[in-house]
Structure 1
Amino acid sequence: MKILQRYFAVTIFQAVAFVLAAFLALQAFMDLTGELPRVGKNGYAIQYVLLFVAVKLPGHVYEVMPLAALIGTIYTMAQFASTSEFTIMRASSMTTGMVAWMLAKIGVVLVIITFIFGELITPRTAPLAEKIKLSGRGTTISTEFRSGLWTKDIVKSEGMTGEVIGSRFFNVREVRPDGKLVDVKLYEFDNNFRLRSITVAKTGTYQGTNKWMLSEVKENIFTNPALLKPGSEANLANNYAQDSSMIETRTSATRELISEITPRILSVSRSDPERMSASELALYTRHLQENKQETERFKIAFWKKLFDPLAIFVLMALALPFGYLHTRSGGVSLKIFVGIMIGVSYLLVNTLFSHLGVLSTWPAALTAIAPSLIFLLLALGALWWVERH
């Protein structure tokens, strides 16, 4: 059995590596053709394009690995069937359960590789690829947005601790590759959504431990003497009053700002959820929840990060019945074509459930795992059919 396990592993790994290389070459070609029309504009040279395409490849490995595992396993099983090797193995008392167990052990290796690319490599290469593209074009991150980058945090009485006394909206026109903020605007509201201050700063530099150092700061503070102490009758009538005629203006060369917004939160707030790691998604989802913002899309992306690599087991189980089909049921090329159609169907169903989950507010975990459960039922049904026939 150890010899058979090694034989299966080597053959499947070779087939998966070949299919993976083909898909990566196709993805690289598509990325290259997408960037070529911009070459020569604003100093965007071809070397930036090639580097950008190369740095994006690890992200594509995570995306296409399940499909490569499916097609590679189908190719191997179809080859075994066409040469009657699988028939001989079955005649030598090898059961379907034994083959499934061998494929599962091979799948563990592929799942681990997928997790490594998804959690450790892609979250670092995706921002780097974006920086390379923007540097080559001579632009910065937030100039992609007409009004700059927007985010929100809560204001507490003692900086990062104490009771919540309001909320703050960040607007940054430009985010430099080193994390420095340019043209910062802060709109601060109290708990009754009255505007309390507008702060404008030329730059913002992160000092660590949730501290920003703002430079060339101008702060407009709105006051309302009509507001009395909480609980008084006059305060009830003026609870939402805003006397904009009372404005105090302060200017300073520098000012320290304590905020839960950090460069990491800023980086993930402008990232595609599919390119973020599970830890970054968990961090940003928590930030959105604290600020009472919509989190459904990021919750679904978080659970997909956990469940999508495990779909490799399901897709490899779908490939197992192809070993039971004789050559008269179709050649290797036909079976590979069927495998590609199954893989494309899985990707479409997976994407469909992601959108339906956001629109219908389904439970995020169920939305993420539902496509795998559907195809697992198909795999079990196919195995039952080939066993009966």
Structure 2
Amino acid sequence: MPKISGRGFAMPQSPIRKLVPLADKAKARGIKVYHLNIGQPDLPTPQVALDALKDIDLKIFEYSPSDGLRSLREKLVKYYAKYKINVSVEDIIITTGGSEAVNIAFLSCLDPDDEIIVPEPAYANYTAFAIGSGAIVRPVVSSIDEGFCLPPVEQFEELITPRTKGIMICNPNNPTGYLYTQKELNHIRDIVKKHDLFLFSDEVYREFCYTGAPYISAFHLKGIENNVVLIDSVSKRYSECGIRVGALVTKNEEVKKSAMKFCQARLSPPLIGQIIAEASMDASDEYMLDVYNEYVERRKYMIDELNRIPGVYSPIPMGAFYTVARLPIDDSDKFCEWLLSTFEYEGQTVMMAPASGFYTNKGVGRNEVRLAYVLQKDELAKALFVLRKALEAYPGRTI
């Protein structure tokens, strides 16, 4: 029998989705599963988007241009301008979700054995797409005890080699909810400029910043405009994960030319998704404010309740809608599996993402989990109570 590729062997399982079969079996047994494992918002999609879907009167669902509908890209130019991100229509390439934007960015910019530096914990798919492009992730590990702030510049410099090609950041961060400061981003800018690196910046959670300060984009960093490759998506801000519409944004002409070759090879991004996404950008300010305020309330509730559970600690996330919590357990992978395969409290259990999957090096994050506060507060209350009961019953509890 022929063997699969080395990439196939090396590709990690998703820490967010790998436990789905266990969750499905739990549900089949009649167990209520509270999903805190995945960033799937439960808030309604804007009505203007739903209306646009109902009003589609096309006779043929044809290919769109490989770089996406021009009308959508024109709207995105105006949207970015609200955040003082000044780009042109030609700087924007529409992708099949933010995931494809990362994948195409890596394929366009990285050769096999090139290295990228990634602050961790980090979104697991960065490693997956790096493996797909043949690149190597060099992690700079942040600490939960320091609130997951950016590690010192010296740690970045220690990782620089002749093969270093870029730095990948997510701001606000998934999975920690950390929001980089101006000082931290200036440090990254200086490293990028000094070593002439790409800066891949995932900014899909920019609407969800809770400090009150203006949002800082990689495009705001002076002197590296042609080094920046911005990753975006409508999935989170409009509760539209399923339409699979994202964007790759860059001023670098060579990157654009390279990316378009990959875009042409995959033909086009989703037509119907683009129509919905374009309509979504007419969502009212009231809609966006309601969504923002809801996450503010959920964040406060979740962090307060987590830190009331004996032995549990979570720093306060300042962005996105996730947090990483440290639990009094021996192994988060075993604990999350046990929750779905063995434990139940009054017919209920909780699904979370083991944080080990957000680190490159094995053994790191073994007592941490990522939780997404994407449930209504009454559901969060039930989920966190069940988590408390689970920790009391878990055989591998450490305190």
Q: TM-score, normalised by structure 1?
A: 0.25
Q: Report which of the two has the higher share of helix.
A: 1
Highest CA radius of gyration, 1 or 2?
1
| Larger RCO (alpha carbons 8 Å, 6+ apart) | 2
Q: TM-score, normalised by structure 2?
A: 0.24
